[in-house]
Homo-oligomer: A and B are copies of this chain.
Amino acid sequence: MIIRLARNSGFCFGVKRAINIAQETAGKFKNAVTLGPIIHNPQMVNRLKADGVGYVDSVDEIVDEAVIIRSHGITKETSEELSELNIPIIDATCPYVSKTQMVGRKLSEEGYDVIILGDYRHPEVIALQSYVPGNVIVIDEDSDLSDKSFNKAGLICQTTQSLEKLVKVVGMLIPISKELRIINTICNATNVRQESTAKLAKNSELMFVIGGKNSSNTKMLARISSQYCKTVHIETADEIDRIFIKDLQRIGLTAGASTPDWIILEVYNKIIEISESNLPRAINIEDISAY
Contacts and interface: CB of A to CB of B under 8 A. Distances in A.
A180 interface: yes
A145 interface: no
Interface stretch (A89-97, A171-179, A244-252): A171-179
Interface in A144-190: 163, 166-167, 170-171, 174-175, 177-184
Contacts of A183: 178-179
Contact of A181 (B171, B174, B175, B179): B179
Nearest to A172: B167
A180 B163 CA distance: 14
Given A179-B184, A180-B182, A184-B179, A167 B174 contact: yes
A45 to B, nearest CB: 34
A167 B168 CA distance: 9
A166 B175 CA distance: 9
B179 A174 contact: no
Nearest to A163: B175
A159 to B, nearest CB: 14
Given A174-B182, A179-B182, 6 more contacts: A167-B170, A170-B171, A171-B171, A178-B183, A179-B183, A180-B181
A182 B177 CA distance: 9
What 10 A-B pairs have minimum CB-CB distances, sorted nearest first? Answer: A181-B181, A180-B182, A167-B171, A179-B183, A167-B174, A170-B170, A163-B175, A178-B184, A166-B174, A170-B174
A170 B183 CA distance: 13
Nearest to A175: B163
A174 B184 contact: yes
A184 B177 CA distance: 8
A146 to B, nearest CB: 16
Nearest to A191: B175
A207 to B, nearest CB: 26
A254 to B, nearest CB: 23
A233 to B, nearest CB: 28
